Chains A and B, each alone.
Chain A
């Protein structure tokens, strides 16, 4: 197995692990962290392709994705904190009223 194949396999595995975590865990914060894992898997594939093609634009795109991820966390964490203050729990089952 060459290097690109190995890293893409790891990337797929990380994405799937993160997706599993988002779906099976109950805690909202843990779900957020599993989303970060999915994002990291995708970033790994981006970096792999950037390194394999020796182009800088992939690396620039990775940098922009980092910024977007930081912004996402900056919004998501206050929302989770406010939710937990309202219902005193982070269990997403307690917020099933949001589905309408």
Chain B
């Protein structure tokens, strides 16, 4: 097996391990660290696939912004919260059964080959199409074809900022 394949298996295992640790860890900070590990493994997978732009964004936006924000909030909260001590809600077994059923259904669709054999998929064993995903082609395509979507996301971010301020202000008013 090539080095690329080994790395792919390594990072895939890391991502799954992080996901499992998220379910069993008790303290939210450990859950956050497991999620960060999972996200970094996913960034490694993207890098192995040759999609370097997405790998960098995964680290910058998810790990650098979203998870740092999350860790910050966890540190703000009271650690004597009872929800930190008791992990699972009452619906543990039905929930696990439902999630397992969904996983089996999706896996069956994958196993029938209806997804992987879809038309248009390149040879999956072939080399990664790295040239198409470098920064320059990505940026040119992005700003030439998808500039409207780019501008729309800025509107969305502005709306999110306004909504966050509105939520905080509503909280202030109620507290007096």
Binding site for B on A (CB under 8 A): 2-10, 12-21, 23-30, 32-34, 36-37, 40, 43-44, 47-57, 59-60, 62-64, 66-75, 77-82, 84-86, 88-93
Give me 8 A-to-B residue pairs in the complex whose CB atoms sit less than 8 angstroms apart, sorted by A's number.
Answer: A2-B125, A7-B12, A10-B45, A17-B22, A26-B88, A59-B54, A74-B164, A77-B73
Binding site for A on B (CB under 8 A): 5, 8-9, 12, 15-16, 19-20, 22-23, 28, 31-32, 35, 38-39, 42, 45-46, 49-51, 53-54, 57-58, 61-62, 65-66, 69-70, 73-74, 76-78, 81-84, 86-89, 91-92, 95-96, 98-100, 102-103, 106-107, 110, 115-116, 120-122, 124-125, 128-129, 132-133, 137-138, 141-142, 145-146, 149, 153, 156-157, 159-161, 163-164, 167-168, 170-171, 174-175
**With A47-B46, A70-B65, A90-B83: A12-B110 Cβ-Cβ less than 8 Å:** yes
Q: How far is the CB of B69 from chain A (nearest CB, A)?
A: 6
Give every chain B residue within 8 A of A47 (Cβ-Cβ).
Answer: 45-46, 49, 51, 54
- In the complex, the 9 A-B pairs of residues with the closest C-beta atoms, listed nearest first: A23-B95, A91-B83, A71-B160, A16-B103, A17-B19, A54-B129, A4-B124, A20-B99, A82-B171
Give Cα A18–Cα B38 distance, bound, in whole angstroms.
12
Give every chain A residue within 8 A of B103 (Cβ-Cβ).
Answer: 12-13, 15-16
How many residue pairs link A and B with beta carbons under 8 A? The number is 245
**With A67-B157, A77-B73: A56-B99 Cβ-Cβ less than 8 Å:** no
